[in-house]
Structure 1
Amino acid sequence: MASQTRGLYKGAYYALFPQVEATRPPVAPIPVARELVHRAQAHDVLPTKLIRHDDTNFTVSARRPHHHRLFMTADGRYTASYVLEAIRQTTLLLSHTELGVPLGHHFVMWDMGHRLDAELPVLDTASAGLTLDVEVTDLRRRGAVPAAVALEMTIRAAGRAVGTGSIRFNITSPAAYTRIRGSLPTTSAPGLTAALPAPVDPPTVHHTRACDVVLAASRLPGRWQLRADPTNTLFFDRVNDHIPAMVLVEAAQQAAGLIAPRGRFVPSSSRMNFSRYVELDQPCWIEARQDTTENGTTSVRVTGHQNEQLAFVIEFADTAAL
């Protein structure tokens, strides 16, 4: 209880005195403060503990929720979004507490991916989460603060290795981020988000709520318009000036499910590249193409274009498509 209280006070302290962040990164409390993984609600925080082994090797424990609208299928299996969100939050926690990234700096993600060699075991106890063994494989600094980082991870469940993860990203100060955005907004504002088109039928993408559907039908097969409900706190739990990357991941999963055989696709691996921001007030078009190799591997390549420019590519594969 004392450590939790210290973590809450520390989060309040940095909020009141942000200048402290530039000289001293916060220490990861147990449980992990939501600010360290850029989540507004404590129940959305996945990491529970961080252990430092040396300057480049760390272990992060992450919980597995028993129920979740985006992270679990109706039959209780974990989606790619869960594994990728665990990777993303692990990255943020490690960056702030161990690599010296101040709170308030911006993360510009370029690449992320994962591979599961075995299905995650059934969650039978509250402590049966994941552990991610993290290695910093590339670190370039601008002064004392990292400017570019690459991480490789081994994912373990129930004490055994079940897969891997990777991520590559840049870090910018608030001032540099403003310069990068140029004339584009750096904060969300009323009227910034475009009117939402009607969603595809939620059951077709294995959801029950329209707010969780991020695709709208188009006139062309294998093509949809991106829709992201800004009132859905699963996607927008804090101020955003562009579409969050994890919304794009969810859109890719839904598109893959719509074109995959038998209407269900739970990928065991992913590779993704983000080349530009997807803006809130302009249409983004999602296209998906499915392929099956001779060995039975089903893969789906999903692209997103905005203003006729490629914004991202996400490739999913499943060695045992359902």
Structure 2
Amino acid sequence: MTSSAMASQTRGLHRGAHRALFPQVRTVRPPVAPAPVDRELVHRAQLHDVLPTKLTRHDDTNFTVSARRPHDHRLFMTADGRYTASFVLETIRQTTLLVSHAELGVPLGHHFVMWDMGHRLDAQLPAFCTPSEGLTLDVEVTDLRRRGAVPSGVALEMKIRAAGHSVGAGSIRFNITSPAAYTRIRGSLPTSGTPALAAALPDPVDPPAVHHVQACDVVLAAADRPGRWQLRADPTNTLFFDRVNDHIPAMVLVEAAQQAAGLLVPRGRFIPLSSRMNFSRYVELDQPCWIEAHQDTTEDGTTTVRVTGHQNEQLAFVIEFADTTAR
């Protein structure tokens, strides 16, 4: 064998040995979380608060919305990694806004007046998921009223899936008003941009008592008797007020009800698996609103909490939670 042939064979052996000793490693990229939809379509100013990632139209009344599950969020997750009822309800709310603007013809800038909302989960959502795993909501428009070309009232029913399996359901009913009509109804009122509102806030209950760290996330202040609190909503907290508003947003009232239920139920954090709620009037920013909660236990052992809000001695909302895991 010539020296050049031997050198070639040696190089071949070396290449083979290199492949055997150091096999080529294929890089596995972790799944990337889907990008959220346009913030304007779900009325959120902060991108990290946007939950829907995709909207699919099936026909005039049926749609599918994909939504992400955040791994770390002050209002949507507990300290031990469980998802709160606020997360599911906010997903339902944002899904409603997305479908209404993108598919039902509601112009941006119109106002949504919520009347009813609720949810049901068959079990608590798993605490951990990869960035690509989220919720899927199959949406059906069950009632649609129009004033001209623009919807004036809508009701939606939703089936909730996770990892391809049915995990629960949701519903919502609301009216829609134009900016001009809203101004005629509401007139000139104080807004969340008024500095005096933040200065007049009563002291919050102890944040750890409602499973929070920051006082600005506490929406209850101690009142004159057990089971009763004064609503407090920090207008500088962008989780609650990410845009100027002339009333307390409904999702702040949901958080108040959750916190009240958690204070009332003695065994750990109350994580409702279902809810029913009705909003009968606006809760104004500059007037005291009183929150009351009452606990009951049904024959099957389900713990229920009924939370009411009164302002100027008039009922503003009723939120009922149920949690079979609290017993």
- After TM superposition, the score normalised by the length of structure 2 is 0.87
Question: What do residues 218-250 of structure 1 show as CA deviations (whole Å, max 9, x unaligned)?
Answer: 111100000011111111111111101000000
Give the conservation status (yes or no) of the 8 Å contact 2:193–2:235: no
> Whose radius of gyration is greater, 1 or 2?
2
What's the RMSD between the two structures over aligned residues? 1.5
Which of 161, 165, 180 does residue 175 from structure 1 map onto? 180
Which of 45, 51, 58 does residue 46 from structure 1 map onto? 51
Give the aligned partner of residue 164 of structure 1: 169
Moved over 2 A (4+): 121-124, 182-194
The 2-side partners of 1:38 and 1:104 are apart by 9
Question: What do residues 180-199 of structure 1 show as CA deviations (whole Å, max 9, x unaligned)?
Answer: 11454578444356711000
The 1-side partners of 2:77 and 2:191 are apart by 32
Give the aligned partner of residue 219 of structure 2: 214
Residue 131 (str. 1) matches residue 129 (str. 2): no
SS in 2 for 1:118: coil
Give the conservation status (yes or no) of the 8 Å contact 2:291–2:309: yes
Which of 243, 246, 254 does residue 241 from structure 1 map onto? 246
Residue 155 (str. 1) matches residue 167 (str. 2): no
Give the conservation status (yes or no) of the 8 Å contact 2:116–2:172: yes
SS in 2 for 1:78: coil
Which 5+ residue runs of structure 1 have no aligned equivalent?
A: 1-28
Give the aligned partner of residue 83 of structure 1: 88
- Which moved further from structure 2: 174-183 or 209-218? 174-183
The 2-side partners of 1:51 and 1:85 are apart by 19
Q: Percent identity?
A: 86
Matched letter for residue 142 of structure 2? T
Task: Give the direction of change, closer, same or farther, for the CA distance of 1:187–1:258 in structure 2 (3 Å limit).
Answer: closer
The 2-side partners of 1:237 and 1:30 are apart by 20
Which 5+ residue runs of structure 2 have no aligned equivalent?
A: 1-33
Give the aligned partner of residue 305 of structure 1: 310
The 2-side partners of 1:222 and 1:187 are apart by 27
Give the conservation status (yes or no) of the 8 Å contact 2:54–2:66: yes
Give the aligned partner of residue 25 of structure 1: none
The 1-side partners of 2:76 and 2:192 are apart by 28
Residue 272 (str. 1) matches residue 281 (str. 2): no
Question: What do residues 49-107 of structure 1 show as CA deviations (whole Å, max 9, x unaligned)?
Answer: 00000000000000000011110111111000000000000000000000000000000
Q: CA deviation at 1:173?
A: 0.3
SS in 2 for 1:139: strand
SS in 2 for 1:196: coil
- After TM superposition, the score normalised by the length of structure 1 is 0.88
Task: Give the direction of change, closer, same or farther, for the CA distance of 1:187–1:222 in structure 2 (3 Å limit).
Answer: closer
Matched letter for residue 223 of structure 2? S
- What pairs with 1:187-226 in structure 2 (closer than 5 Å)? 188-191=193-196, 195-226=200-231
Residue 106 (str. 1) matches residue 94 (str. 2): no
Q: CA deviation at 1:261?
A: 2.7
Aligned length: 294
Give the aligned partner of residue 18 of structure 1: none
Residue 37 (str. 1) matches residue 42 (str. 2): yes
Residue 282 (str. 1) matches residue 287 (str. 2): yes
Give the conservation status (yes or no) of the 8 Å contact 2:191–2:244: no
Task: Give the direction of change, closer, same or farther, for the CA distance of 1:314–1:127 in structure 2 (3 Å limit).
Answer: same
